[in-house]
């Protein structure tokens, strides 16, 4: 985790863009400081020789003990265009110079880490929204433009592609890239968090064929959440328009989304003049059924967190509404959420440094149970139908003996029980 907006060990009472670098150890559940950055009382001169300037919402991926980072927003919100690598073995930053081709300055782009490549879509520059697509090869350390800036409406002739945006949710599932929501307004500011321009459309991209497909959701901004029950995939379900949510996938490849800043289940005003609400809702997109399900959290925005005992798994505990948080997926079906801008346990707004674990293994196990039960029902109905057909053929055998040849069924099929009845309930 590099930088971000927040506070260091030098107390000024005012948040600033940071450039410290932290590692979260999955085994111990603890953070380790890899590089203190510039804004600390404990930095040495040798550590300050060459490091990236403070920034937040940069694009980054890691591969083979090396982190790659591009752009982001620096001091005063200025968009950046520098590229860096960090060697985890030697704890050293290196700036990549003389890049013959690279994206223009921007921050908060859509990012997919795929094999040894970083894919980057869109982002927010200095009062401009991008919708170009780039790929960075983390082996050759070179940028390649997949396609340049297009008509920002998302339509051009027979081609269909997402509208330009920043702060969208991204996932990689079964070698397919997904992109949801984000902001399409070039005048958006993170301080005001305007709701104008926030999207709730879902797209998928096939990197092998370089083709976009529109999946679902309105193609214009400003929509509330629509939910029908909990845990049920329904075509009409829709997360509200939003930006800066946490996203991850589960063991089945389904897409999960938490929080962000945007619209809850209340209808936004006609002119979208109000600021976004901070959200704490949890959603899942079923990639096979291609539908959303509301999985929990709060359907209403701007709620405070509920903090129970540390490390205690309780359904009553939940993070407060927040945006711009960090998230790491832990295998098999667990995610960790850190910080962000949002509400603490007393409903007070600010920069957060709480750490939450989300365990959704029970949900994925139930999916497996339902799938197995459906298969058993299918096999049972198929067997019943086959028996009925054979009975009918036996009854009608004499009248049709001259014209119908009896099928040679060969050996009888062998059936094995898929799961014990006792273990299903």
What is the pLDDT, as a whole number, of residue 193?
87
Q: What does the block give as tokens for 142? A: 């070179």
Q: What does the block give as tokens for 371? A: 């799938």
* Strand positions, DSSP E, 109-254: 110-114, 117-124, 129-137, 142-147, 155-156, 159-160, 169-173, 176-183, 198-206, 211-216, 242-243, 246-249
Q: What does the block give as tokens for 187? A: 């005048």
Interatomic CA distance for residues 245 and 71, integer angstroms: 20
What is the pLDDT, as a whole number, of residue 408?
30
- Percent of the chain having pLDDT more than 70? 80
What is the pLDDT, as a whole number, of residue 39?
78
Q: What does the block give as tokens for 283? A: 């959603």
Q: What does the block give as tokens for 46? A: 């040798």
State the pairing for strand pair 277-286/322-323.
unpaired
Residue with tokens 């919402």: 57
pLDDT at residue 425 tops 50: no
Q: Which residues contact 278 (CB under 8 A, 6 or more apart)?
A: 259, 261, 301, 302, 320, 321, 322, 323, 341, 342, 343, 349
The distance of Cα 421 from the centroid of its chain, to the nearest Å, equals: 37
For 26-34, what is the mean pLDDT? 90
What is the pLDDT, as a whole number, of residue 5?
94
Average pLDDT, the chain: 83
Dihedral angle over CA of 232, 238, 242, 248, nearest 10 = 40
Interatomic CA distance for residues 171 and 242, integer angstroms: 16
Angle, CA of 235, 238 and 243, to the nearest 5° = 150
pLDDT at residue 30 tops 50: yes
Which residue in 94, 110, 109, 11 sits closest to 49, CA to CA? 94
Per the model's pLDDT, the better-predicted residue between 418 and 71 turns out to be: 71
Interatomic CA distance for residues 126 and 121, integer angstroms: 16
Confidence band, pLDDT 50/70/90 cuts, at residue 150: low
Per-residue pLDDT of 208-227, as tens digits, reads: 999 999 999 999 999 999 99
Q: Which residues contact 246 (CB under 8 A, 6 or more apart)?
A: 257, 258, 259, 260, 325, 326, 327, 335, 337
Confidence band, pLDDT 50/70/90 cuts, at residue 23: very high
Per-residue pLDDT of 61-96, as tens digits, reads: 999 999 999 999 999 999 999 999 999 999 899 999
Most confident of 135-144, 158-167, 407-416: 135-144
pLDDT at residue 374 tops 50: no
Q: What are the residue ranges spanned by the domains of the chain?
A: 150-359, 372-424
What is the pLDDT, as a whole number, of residue 417?
25
pLDDT at residue 18 tops 60: yes
Neighbours of 64 (CB within 10 A): 9
What is the pLDDT, as a whole number, of residue 192?
86
pTM for this model (two decimals): 0.83
For 237-254, what is the mean pLDDT? 97
Confidence band, pLDDT 50/70/90 cuts, at residue 146: very high
What is the pLDDT, as a whole number, of residue 46?
53
Residues counted in the chain: 425
């Amino acid at each position: 985790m590099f930088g971000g907006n927040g506070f260091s060990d030098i107390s000024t009472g005012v948040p600033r863009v940071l450039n410290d670098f932290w590692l979260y150890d999955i085994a111990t559940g603890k953070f380790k400081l890899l590089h203190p950055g510039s804004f600390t009382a404990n930095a040495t001169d040798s550590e300050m020789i060459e490091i990236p300037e403070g920034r937040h919402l940069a694009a980054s991926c890691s591969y083979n003990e090396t982190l790659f980072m591009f752009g982001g927003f620096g001091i005063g919100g200025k968009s950046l265009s520098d590229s860096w690598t960090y060697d985890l073995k030697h704890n050293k930053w290196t700036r990549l110079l003389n890049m013959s081709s690279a994206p223009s300055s921007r921050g908060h782009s859509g990012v997919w880490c795929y094999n040894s490549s970083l894919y980057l879509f869109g982002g927010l520059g200095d009062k401009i929204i991008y919708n170009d697509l780039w790929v960075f090869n983390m082996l050759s350390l070179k940028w390649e433009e997949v396609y340049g800036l297009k008509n920002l409406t998302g339509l051009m002739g027979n081609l269909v592609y997402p509208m330009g945006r920043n702060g969208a949710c991204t996932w990689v599932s079964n070698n397919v890239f997904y992109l949801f929501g984000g902001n399409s307004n070039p005048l958006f500011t993170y301080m005001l968090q305007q709701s104008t321009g926030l999207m709730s459309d879902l797209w998928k991209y096939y990197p092998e064929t370089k083709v976009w497909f529109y999946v679902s959701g309105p193609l214009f901004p400003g929509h509330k959440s629509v939910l029908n029950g909990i845990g049920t995939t329904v075509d009409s379900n829709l997360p509200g328009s939003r930006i800066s949510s946490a996203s991850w996938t589960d063991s089945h490849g389904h897409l999960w989304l938490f929080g962000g800043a945007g619209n809850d289940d209340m209808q936004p005003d006609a002119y979208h003049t109000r600021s976004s609400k901070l959200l704490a809702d949890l959603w899942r997109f079923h990639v096979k059924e291609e539908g959303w399900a509301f999985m929990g959290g709060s359907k209403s925005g701007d709620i405070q967190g509920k903090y129970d005992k540390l490390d205690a798994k309780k359904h009553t505990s939940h993070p407060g509404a927040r945006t711009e948080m960090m998230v790491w997926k832990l295998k098999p079906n667990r995610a960790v959420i850190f910080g962000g801008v949002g509400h603490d346990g007393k409903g007070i707004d600010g920069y957060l440094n709480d750490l939450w674990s989300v365990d959704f293994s029970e949900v994925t196990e139930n999916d497996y149970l339902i799938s197995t039960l459906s298969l058993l029902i299918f096999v049972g109905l198929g067997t019943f139908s086959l028996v009925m057909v054979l009975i009918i053929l036996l009854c009608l055998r004499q009248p049709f003996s001259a014209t119908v040849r009896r099928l040679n069924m060969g050996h009888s099929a062998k059936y094995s029980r898929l799961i014990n009845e006792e273990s299903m309930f």
